[in-house]
Amino acid sequence: MEYQTAQQRVKDLKSFYKNCMWFGIVALIIFTRRFIKYGDFTEAISTGSIILTVWGIIIAVKAVKLFILNSEWEEKILQDEMNKTKKPINF
């Protein structure tokens, strides 16, 4: 892995982990507030927040991009595609 690619990956991972931390803090605050308001934990969860749902989906997409569709995956797919197009020329 090149230095520039590794440096960008570290920045992306740092951003992802910060985003996860803030998501956890905000979710804890929202669920604690709802628990105090309704007095029941199941009620606090069942009245989920649309903001947390959208934010969770965004985090999930970022996780897939970082951990599944990373640069190694791209390089492997690129090599596979290049190998497919290398067909012998028949004269």
pLDDT in single tens digits along all 91 residues of the chain: 578 877 888 898 899 999 999 999 998 988 888 888 877 766 666 666 788 888 999 999 999 988 887 777 777 777 777 777 666 666 6
Q: Are 60 and 6 spatial neighbours (Cβ–Cβ below 8 Å)?
A: no
**Cα of 42 vs its chain's centroid, Å:** 27
Q: How many domains does the chain have?
A: 1
| 64 assigned to some structural domain | yes
Task: Look at residue 4 and tell me if it is in a domain.
Answer: no
Q: Is there a domain that residue 1 lies in?
A: no
Residue 5 lies inside a defined structural domain of this protein? no
- Domain span at 70: 10-85
- Give the global pTM: 0.68
Within a domain: residue 20? yes
- Tokens representing 21 are 């931390």
Q: Is residue 15 part of a domain?
A: yes
Q: Do 34 and 47 form a contact (C-beta atoms < 8 A)?
A: yes
Is residue 39 domain-resident? Answer: yes
Q: What is the CA radius of gyration of the chain?
A: 22
